[in-house]
Every structure is written in structure tokens, then in C-alpha cells.
A and B are shown apart, each in its own frame.
Chain A
């Protein structure tokens, strides 16, 4: 670590909710995606779970909305250094989808993929136990297209590139397979509390 001459940073209060290297973006919600925002109507949205599961299955918008609702309120953290507090998402817990599809005992990982072809890999353990959602509402309103609407994956305890926008499905695997950013140098897991930003961190 090298002290930068004359750099003090902004006045700050130690915030135990802020992972190392992050700052509070306040009301801002920057958009970071490498793709053109798709025009995806909710009527055309589907979500599929397949791969190493007992019951591969596709849900459409109506079917997904008949599942028990579940919400997340808390923080999100982007690898580009901003965090956002007190966000409110609503949708369905991923556990409810996985309980239907029933991953095999050998399953360890998943590749989440979007309707645009974006991919992100996740250990199955990060997607279960009430820690991941399919979210279609933000702050009581439909999720905006540039933030992943009509529906996105939400895994708030990992850096947000894992929370694939315009989520189309999960392929359940018995091994890890890097996704879009992971193939472009980013970390396999992306835990903000351990600053797992880039491969090798």
C-alpha cells in the first residue's frame, strides 16, 4: 500500500455495512452492462432450470407469479466500487424454483444465463438457503429494463455482475464453468467482503 500525497478522500463515517473498497452511491444506481438493453416484454419472458436436475422445467411470467412471493431489502455491491443501501426487490425466492427442479446430489454449480446470452457462474450454495431471488419489482414498481427488467437474478451477497439481468435460466452442473466476466478476468466467486474482484484476488 502506497500513501498518495495529498489524498484525504471524502469525509467518512465508518460504515460496518460497507465492504472494503466500496463507497455509498446514495440515490444513484449506475447501470453497467456490456450489452444493448433488450426489449423483452414480460409476456415473452421465461425462466428455465435444467442440467443436473430431476425435473427440468420452464416457467412463464404467469406461472412464476403464482409462486409464493418473497422480497429482499438490504444492500447491493458492484465491483466498480459502489454499494447501494436499503434497496427493495420483490419476486420469488430461487429456493422455490429449485425445490421444483430438484438438483441431483452431484450438482455443485450453476451457470445463470440471460435472454441476451450473458452468463455468470455461481456455486449452488450461493443460490440456495434464502440468499437468491428472481426479482421483478424494485421499490414497489416493475423493474426497469436497463436494470434487468422484466426479471433478473438477484444474489445480493455477491458482486452484482453475478445477478444476471434479463435472466433466462440456470443450467445446473457438477463443475464450475466461467461465465462472461469470469472469462474476461473477473473472479470466480465475487464475494465483496473479501474483495474478490479479479481472478487471483
Chain B
């Protein structure tokens, strides 16, 4: 039988871009060249990656740290920077309490240190800048979405782009300095004067879905699993088609 199998269901497998098998399978050494504090718990690490094959906003890579006895730990990290030809990429890491890899980055790493990376390794969450995008994130889930916003700005794209982001407080809002008119921030513990405190709700999402751009939104949801469940349900309730919601769960 040679006929191609297409699942008889509505969730169209998007496969936005082809992932280079070589980039996905080969480790290379990256050098930390800059460390930038974003919030008390979140820091951006700039890495020089001499043979970086390039990425699309939204993609992630693998980082591997190796101990002297050969023990290695690898974790996924979204790429925070927009695609460019600087020979550098940026990662933004939350300091996870007791975390092996994020703990090393936050307490040990300094410029000149070397780590191994491979990637980009997945294309599903990528946004090439071609369709109107509605981005919804919480905590460090804003990292791949920031790559999209930076890309949008760097290329002067005109395709509609909106971000709804949830943070505990203004102090914990990652990239606060960089967020602009495209962003609605939701604060769950404390908020600036005049801004309500509370969970992301239908009221934050419904107006954006009411003013659909031509062709509709492609929604990108990123954060913890509980946030992803909550936000994707808000979107579905507000009428966003399930096959136009992409979710990246950080675990």
C-alpha cells in the first residue's frame, strides 16, 4: 500500500518549518558572553554559537552540562533572541528552586564559561512572521513569544501581533522594559495603581478575538502546564479554533 495516511480528524499537523536533522543531532560548544538580570529570579544569558544554523522565533534548543565524572544533564530552553546573523543567541532562564541546570546558570555561570547546545530542535511552535499571531504567556513562558516580538520589530513586520502576558507582579514581569503597545499585562498578586489584580480571564482574551484580523489569529500559548490548560481553554471558549492553537508547555 503506498497511499499516504492522513488522520481523519480536525487537528491539522502544522509542521511550520523543516528542522535540519544535522542541527538537531549535533552538539556544539557555546560560550557565555553576557549575563543580564531581567527580574530577581530571571536572567538572560547571551551565548556565542559559532556554527548556529539559524532559527525561527518560537523554536527551542537543548543545553547540556557535563560534570567531571561524566554525568550529564540536558534541558530544553526556548530561544529568546530574534533570528539575526550576530553569531549569538540569547536564553532567558527562570531560577528553579533546587534546579540542576537553571541552578548552575544562576549561581555559577560567568562570561567565558562554555556549555553544549544543539538545535533548534522543533518547528511546531515556530512563527515565521507570516500570519497574525496572538501570543499568550506566563512566567518564563514569555521567552519564545519575546523572540517573535523582537523579530516583528527587527523586520518592521506589519502583520498583527498581540501579547497577553501574566506575571505575579510588575517586578516579576520578564522583559518589562521591552514590552510595548502590543502587550496586555495581567498581574496575579500585585499590580500598579489602577490595574486590577487577578488571574487571566475571558475579559482579557475576548476583545482580541472580537477584532479578528483578516485570516484570523494563530494563537501561541506558552508557560507551565496549568497555565497552558487555563489559557487554551479561555481561547477555545472565546471561539478560537483548536487547530489554530499551538501550545508549548514547560513541564
Contact = CB atoms under 8 A, between A and B. Distances in A.
A62 B188 CA distance: 44
B72 interface: yes
A184 B73 contact: no
Interface residues of B, number: 58
Interface in A1-33: 1-10, 12, 21, 23, 28, 30-33
B108 A117 contact: no
A82 B101 CA distance: 13
Contact of B1 (A1, A51, A82): A51
A126 interface: no
Contacts of A198: 21, 24-25, 118, 121
Given A31-B249, A34-B248, A36-B236, A4 B67 contact: yes
B10 A117 contact: yes
Interface in B1-52: 1-2, 4-5, 7-13, 15, 19, 21-22, 24-26, 29
Contact of B225 (A3, A31, A113, A119): A31
A83 B124 CA distance: 23
B246 A34 contact: yes
B25 A4 contact: no
Interface stretch (B109-117, B177-185, B209-217): B109-117
Nearest to A23: B73
B68 interface: yes
A193 B66 CA distance: 19
A6 B121 CA distance: 27
Contact of A6 (B4, B7, B104): B104
A115 interface: yes
Nearest to B232: A36
Interface in A24-77: 28, 30-38, 51-52
Interface in A155-182: 168, 171, 173-175, 177, 180-181
B140 interface: no
Given A2-B66, A184-B19, A199-B25, A119 B13 contact: yes
A146 interface: yes
Contact of A36 (B72, B118, B233, B248): B233
B11 A200 contact: no
A81 B75 contact: yes
A12 B24 contact: no
Contact of A30 (B4, B5, B251): B251
Contacts of B70: 1
A84 to B, nearest CB: 12
Contact of A117 (B7, B100, B235): B7
Nearest to B9: A117
Nearest to B16: A184
B206 interface: no
A181 B233 CA distance: 23
B114 A2 contact: yes
A199 B21 contact: yes
18 contacts: A2-B116, A3-B66, A4-B66, A7-B108, A9-B100, A31-B225, A34-B125, A36-B235, A51-B1, A80-B76, A113-B8, A117-B13, A119-B13, A146-B229, A181-B122, A181-B124, A185-B121, A199-B19
Interface of B: 1-2, 4-5, 7-13, 15, 19, 21-22, 24-26, 29, 65-68, 70-76, 100, 104, 108, 113-116, 118, 121-125, 225, 228-229, 232-233, 235-236, 242-243, 245-249, 251
Closest 4 CB pairs of A and B: A117-B11, A185-B19, A200-B25, A117-B9
Interface of A: 1-10, 12, 21, 23, 28, 30-38, 51-52, 80-82, 111, 113-119, 146, 168, 171, 173-175, 177, 180-181, 183-186, 198-201
